Amino acid sequence: MFKTRITELYGIEYPVVQGGLMWIAKAELAAALANAGGIGFMTALTHREPEGLAAEIRKTREMTDKPFGVNLTFLPTLFPVNYDPYIDVCIDEGVKFIETAGRNPEPYMEKMKAGGLVVTHKCTSVRHALKAQKIGCDVVSIDGFEAAGHPGEDDVTSLILVPLTVDALDIPVIASGGFGDGRGLVAALALGAEGMNMGTRFVATQEAPLHDNVKQALVQATERDTSLLMRTLRNTERVLTNTVAQQVLEIEAKGNTQIADIAPYMAGLRGLKMLNEGDMESAILAAGQIVGLLRDIPTVQELMDRIIGEAREIITGRLPEIVD
């Protein structure tokens, strides 16, 4: 057992969180996280209909009796999304924890709080974290420059952003972006965070429901194998460097990029072909710089045991031995 403000709040054993992973964070991963003592947030919008989310929640309940959550990301989508029914599903199905991301969750706060949801907002800057606290969020998960997916436009790294956010807020802070092992967990806790969030690391686990080629590609990648796409549109996304990513970078290098020029390359259906069929050059895959430190594809339980064992050794062994 590790005891921090977020293990208490979530009712979990270890301060290790799996935040939203579109298409990937489903029942298998959420249940594996729960059973290993952490917490996983399944992505609501992986399901085109709210009923799909309801079914996924029920499926997870059959696999674990421990806590898990739902991620709801407010990002521009190809088709307009009605978020309310997804929140209703969470409340009706008795989910207690919701992770919001992307745009400001304020329009939905009243509904979420009235439904008894504990709201963790994921964001990429101190000013957005302050805003989240102000509108009543219970936890902030702060994402540094090294993170997969959308690290924002400020390019401030976790080493700076985590302590800054901790200093600025009263509510608990989860460190996210660049974390993948027990060393990272202790670093996060030393910087003042109450836990660490991992995304890319959980994609390369046995339980992640996707083609083995994708996991192998993450293990093979070095720390220099990610690219920042859509910077020119101020909607930056950190992805694994591959043929499609390089095509997008070439389009952006020409200048005066329009979203329509890039949209075909970012399309979710191409991503599903990658995830399901293992075609690594056909689509974009979000991946953080932590890929450089991934060397295997463990089960979630093995990964958690390793992280906690390593963190415990650092906290009770390495560090006290340094201080005489």
- Token pair for 300: 């979630």
Written as one letter, the residue type at 165 is T
Could you say which residues in the range 272-301 bind a copy of itself, by CB under 8 A? 289-290, 292-293
| Minimum CB–partner distance for residue 90 and a copy of itself (Å) | 29
Stretch that binds a copy of itself, among 67-75, 111-119, 128-136, 172-180 (CB under 8 A): 172-180
Q: Does 157 bind a copy of itself (CB under 8 A)?
A: yes
The site that binds a copy of itself (CB under 8 A) totals a number of residues, namely 49
| Minimum CB–partner distance for residue 304 and a copy of itself (Å) | 15
Of residues 98, 187, 221, 239, which one binds a copy of itself by CB under 8 A? 187
- Token pair for 106: 């304020």
Of residues 58, 224, 258, 276, which one binds a copy of itself by CB under 8 A? 224
Of residues 11, 58, 92, 190, which one binds a copy of itself by CB under 8 A? 190
Q: Does 154 bind a copy of itself (CB under 8 A)?
A: yes
Q: Does 186 bind a copy of itself (CB under 8 A)?
A: yes
| Minimum CB–partner distance for residue 316 and a copy of itself (Å) | 7
SS (H, E, C) 57-106: HHHHHHHCCCCCEEEEEECCCCCCCCCHHHHHHHHHCCCCEEEEEECCCH
* DSSP summary character for residue 315: I
- Asked if residues 179 and 188 have their Cβ atoms less than 8 Å apart, the reply is yes
Contacts of 215 (CB under 8 A, 6+ apart): 203, 204, 205, 208, 297
Of residues 145, 199, 280, 307, which one binds a copy of itself by CB under 8 A? 145
Residue from 37, 106, 48, 44 nearest 69 by CA: 44
Residue position matching structure tokens 């995304």: 199
What is the DSSP pairing of strand 97-102 with strand 69-74? parallel
Q: Which is nearer to a copy of itself, 54 or 175 (CB)?
A: 175
- Asked if residues 97 and 39 have their Cβ atoms less than 8 Å apart, the reply is yes
The contact set with a copy of itself (CB under 8 A) reads 1-4, 15, 126, 144-146, 154, 156-161, 163-164, 167, 177-179, 181, 183-184, 186-187, 189-192, 223-224, 289-290, 292-293, 311-312, 314-316, 318-324
